Structure 1
Amino acid sequence: MADFGAGDIDAFRSDARAWLAANYPAELRDPEAKTDPEAVWGGRAFAGGTDPQAVWTQRMGAKGWTTPTWPKEYGGAGLSPAEARVLDQELAAGRYRPGVLAFGIWMLGPVLLEYGTEEQKKTFLPPIVRGEIRWCQGYSEPGAGSDLASLATRCEDKGDHWLINGQKVWTSYADKADWCFCLVRTDTSKKHEGISFVLIDMRTAGVETRPIQLISGESPFCETFFTDVKIPKDHLVGQVNGGWEIAKRLLQYERQNISGGFGGGGGAGGSAADLPVVAKSYNGADDTGRLADSDLRQRITRNEMDFRSLRMTIARTAAEARASNGPSAATSIIKFAAAEFAKERSELMVESMGHQGLGWEGDAFTPGELTATHGWLRSKGNSIEGGTTEVNINVVAKRVLGLPDPK
């Protein structure tokens, strides 16, 4: 593909549209296409695979379009913000599936670009772009959840390597991950200033994962144990005892992307766009074609308005983040709102279905009804992951509003 200047966006759009149409696997054009749901997350298990989603990941990754604004020298496409917006628009207009969904893209990659050494960038970023490495996040611990800075996992300097011992919990997809970006304690005499940020190969001896079953019946989270785990010295990112700054930056990116997922109207509870249709199918319509239950109609309308406002706010803050070279504390406001709106949407979906929205299993319920029930239960985690609602409110109070600590 040719390189387009800032004044040739229309030509870029035309060229991008043609490339997407020519390279999207035919099997994925069917909305009911059967493909491995894990393929979209990438990783070693799918690198070079023939699953249609894996093929799409490979094509998008080779193009650099999984990370369109990342520099070309690290595998990205090096697109301008304007070109990246056009690409997003064309992907949405064509209803193309994501090239890859990855914590490496959403969280680790941006902080490596900011804090990593040149060698770390060249080693880890290109495989992230191509979807060849699947990452997990080693932050929370049994004794350090909301107070993350109290983490106790030790990382000792052994001269030619680091030695790690400790435990993490709620590690998303740790049992399927290839690598882990992890917070560890390198100085026990200080709290925030004694934390470092390291990268751990999950195949290393001494790493063990145990899935945790949730109320929804799924097990996306794990307990992760490190017992005398040795990692190379150059797998420390930034400065020794400088990990807390990186951790805070990464959490901003995480909250921004969690919010973006909710803002798109998807999530565990189903699409926001589907809610009015579902509600009408179960509750009927009045003479004007509107949902017959006026109270339910009002609450669904309010939720739709909230989501539209959220999407516009996310778009605005994303543009501001690109202009200022990173997300701001406003991501905590958005993450709080997104979690609340998503939980409300899931509750409205189940309520709209009546008793059919309370099924767990069996032929008495349709797949959509079962999905709504499980999604409603899963939505309870929206106010926990990426920083609890209570912590987010504190961040907003202190960092955004500048309120003093309570006496």
Structure 2
Amino acid sequence: MEFGFGPADEEFRAEARAWLGEHLTGVFAGASGRGGPGSEHEGVAERRAWERELGRGGWIGLGWDTDSPACGNRRATCGNRRATYGNRRATLTQQVVWAEEYARVRAPGRYGHIGENLLAPTLLAYGSQEQRDEFLPPIARGEALWCQGYSEPGAGSDLAGLRTAAVRDGGSGEMYRVTGQKIWTSLAREADWCFVLARTEAGSSGHRGISFLLVPMDQPGRIEVRPIRQLTGTSEFNEVFFDGAVARASHVVGGVGNGWRVAMGLLGFERGVSTLVQQIGFAEELGGVVREALDSGAVDDPVLRDRLVRQWAELKVMRWNALRTLGSSGSGGDAGAPSVAKLLWGGWHQRLGELAMAVRGAVGAVGPGDWREDTPYELDALQRLFLFTRADTIYGGSDEIQRNIIAERVLGLPREAKAR
């Protein structure tokens, strides 16, 4: 495919660059580079305020509803109910431009990306007009933060094995009571809402009887969030316990029992422009490893030098694959694209963490902080990279599951036999 930037894109780039230069100052400048993988705990207040700043500037939700001539432009009104979503018009290439400029200045890690990049496209594809009117404007303003309630103990990569149940309230019938446990939930402590997969059909199994519910997180006594401490010493992920948590029946997306279809559609949106943002961050991390190799003299080792070059070349391949996938969106020939992308970046990033430690040598096993028993250990950037990336081939769908998806749905190979 041809993927180039024209004059209109460069004008958009100049606008984005100017806005970032003007607004990424003061406390926001202090939050720059904070909030990435392994450091989600950094600069919480500043990054939440930054989301609202992005919303005021109209930089959240670029490209929403671009198929409609009446929608997608800044402060546009969209849909039959004429709801103001608050986003500006942006073509696919302009969305890439914004992602590149955002990463170039190391702007703060986004708190609102789950709502903007996962839930919003899902509501546009499967939600009712009332749901779009209610939930999209707060996301576009940077005010509402979301988390994702998919994985459960025993139902992580095998999502169809989930057991969380949502039972219709016996009184008015306008509410569901949600009971169960979710795990590995990013941003659960900060989120205002959670989109939850739950069984609404008693006795159902597999893909059947699952619904996609929008659940408010501010329900003391009904929702409990417990942080999960990781190898890095931080707690990006959480366990979430629902004990009769309330969800409105009008907040079931895509219809009762259609949750699996909606959930799979949402996962497909993960391969969007955000993957290019991720790769720009990867390039910065690779640059840090290369600088370490140059400073330490490790680059003189031909084996390590070959590994550095290979990491660079594979990152280029990932970018081209992402651009190809974006360009073929809607063609129907990209059913395995999300799985291919996950296999590419998960293994690449994990190998980068291993390479960082190889470049550092034995000193990489020693931390810079005080190692007394009563003092939390500290990690530098490369050590955090290595430890965090141990999970890259597991979370977001393990490598084994992604290969099964490609084999069965793309190559048409027989399904793996299930143990009886």
Q: TM-score, normalised by structure 2?
A: 0.81
RMSD (CA atoms): 3.2
1:315 matched to 2:323: yes
1:127 to 135, 138, 147: 138
Q: Is 1:81 aligned to 2:97, yes or no? A: no
Q: For structure 1, which segment, 99-108 or 208-217, has the greater mean C-alpha deviation from structure 2 after superposition? A: 99-108
2:355 counterpart residue number: 348
For 2:234 and 2:36, locate their aligned partners in 1 and report how far apart those are by CA, in whole Å.
18
1:329 counterpart = 2:343: no
Q: Is the 8 A contact 1:137 1:180 kept in 2?
A: yes
Counterpart pick for 2:179 among 148, 165, 170: 165
Shift of 1:254: 3.3
Asked if structure 2 preserves the Cα contact closer than 8 Å seen for 1:63 and 1:77, the reply is no
Out of 152-161 and 337-346, give the one that drifted further.
152-161
Gap regions ≥5 residues in structure 1 = 1-5, 285-290
CA deviation after TM superposition for structure 1 residue 353, in Å: 0.5
Q: Hey, what's the Cα distance between the residues in 2 that align with 1:121 and 1:211?
A: 31
The answer to whether the aligner puts 1:199 opposite 2:206 as a matched pair is no
Q: In 2, are the aligned partners of 1:160 and 1:233 still within 8 Å (CA)?
A: yes
CA distance in 1, matches of 2:333, 2:131: 20
Deviation of 1:145 (Å)? 1.8
| CA separation of 1:257 and 1:373: change in aligned 2, threshold 3 A | farther
**Shift in alpha-carbon separation, 1:231–1:80, aligned structure 2, 3 A:** same
The reply on whether 1:401 has 2:411 as its aligned counterpart is yes
In proportion to residue count, which structure has more helix? 1
Shift of 1:246: 0.9
Aligned-partner residue type, residue 407 of structure 2: A
In 2, are the aligned partners of 1:173 and 1:220 still within 8 Å (CA)?
Answer: yes
**Does structure 1 residue 306 correspond to structure 2 residue 317?**
no
Indicate yes or no: 2:149 matched with 1:149: no
Deviations 1:356-384 (A, max 9, x none): 211245269xx996322222111011111
Scaled by the length of structure 1, the TM-score of the pair is 0.83
Deviation of 1:89 (Å): 4.7
> 1:211/1:10 Cα in 2 relative to 1: closer, same or farther (>3 Å)?
closer
AA of the residue aligned to 1:181: F
Question: Equivalent residue of 2:53, what SS?
Answer: helix
2:385 corresponds in structure 1 to: 375
- Paired residue total: 382
**In the superposition, relative to structure 1, how do residues 219 and 384 fare at CA in structure 2: closer, same or farther (>3 Å)?**
same
The 2-side partners of 1:128 and 1:224 are apart by: 22
C-alpha spacing 1:255/1:368, structure 2 compared with 1 (3 Å): farther
**Counterpart-to-counterpart distance in 2, 1:27 and 1:181:** 31
Letter of the 2:187 partner, please give it: Y
Cα gap change, 1:406 to 1:228, in 2 (>3 Å): closer
Q: Any gaps of 5 or more consecutive residues in structure 2?
A: 1-5, 65-71, 78-84, 372-376
- SS of alignment partner, residue 315 of structure 1: helix
Aligned partner of 2:204 among 190, 214, 218: 190
Call closer, same or farther: CA 1:222–1:69 in 2, change over 3 Å. same
- Once the two structures are aligned, what percentage of the paired residues are identical? 34
Distance 1:17 1:406 in 2: 50
In 1: Cα distance, 2:293 partner to 2:13 partner: 38
2:67 maps to what in 1?
A: none
> SS at 1:273's partner residue?
helix
User: Which residue of the partner structure matches residue 188 of structure 2?
Assistant: 174
Q: What is the deviation of 1:93?
A: 5.5
**Deviation for aligned residue 1:330:** 0.9
Change (3 A) 1:35 1:316: closer
Deviation at 1:277, TM superposition (A): 1.5
Cα pair distance change 1:325/1:333, threshold 3 Å: closer
Please, which of 91, 110, 124 is the counterpart of residue 121 of structure 2?
110
Separation (CA, whole Å) in 1 of partners of 2:278 and 2:16:
27
Which of these residues, 57, 62, 65, is aligned with residue 63 of structure 1?
Answer: 57
